[in-house]
Structure 1
Amino acid sequence: MGNMLYQEAREAVARAELLALAAETDIQREAVQKEIQRAKNALNSAFHNSSMAEQEQLGHMQTQLQNITSMGQFE
């Protein structure tokens, strides 16, 4: 079954990326901001309950979120 917190973090980051790519309106950008916050929370929860390999991948996901934040008004 795997680490559910890790899976949730991975899915949240993927959702944030997709929303950010499609965001055109203020409402859509607000949705991106909320999803980024959910993803950050999921990453934090997952990190403390993950193996070293998962933690490394979570670090890459954190970088993905930072890239999303830097590409638009999503902070």
Structure 2
Amino acid sequence: MGNRLFQEARQAVEVAKYADGKDMEGLVDKAKNAISSAYANTTTAEQQQLAELQQELDQIKTH
């Protein structure tokens, strides 16, 4: 089945990537929290993917 927290973090980032307007900042923050929650319970490969997702969120916030 996979790591539930990891999957939730990926989904939260996808939602944040397609958000606009006033909801975007809250969704980005929610996705960052999901990444943080998932990080401790993931494999090294998943941690790398979470780092990449974090970079995507950082790009969203700067645009």
TM range, smaller chain:
over 0.9
When Rg is computed on C-alpha atoms for both structures, the one with the higher figure is 1
What residue is the counterpart of 2:17 in the other structure? Answer: 17
Alignment of 1:31 onto 2:11: no
Query: Where has structure 1 moved over 6 Å in runs of 4 or more?
Result: none
In 2, the alpha carbon distance for the partners of 1:18 and 1:36 equals 10
Question: How big is the alpha-carbon RMSD for the aligned residues of Structure 1 and Structure 2?
Answer: 0.6
TM-score (norm 1): 0.81
In 2, the alpha carbon distance for the partners of 1:65 and 1:59 equals 10
Alignment of 1:70 onto 2:49: no
Alignment of 1:45 onto 2:41: no
Tell me by how many angstroms 1:30 deviates: 2.1
What residue is the counterpart of 2:47 in the other structure? Answer: 55
**Matched-pair identity in %:** 41
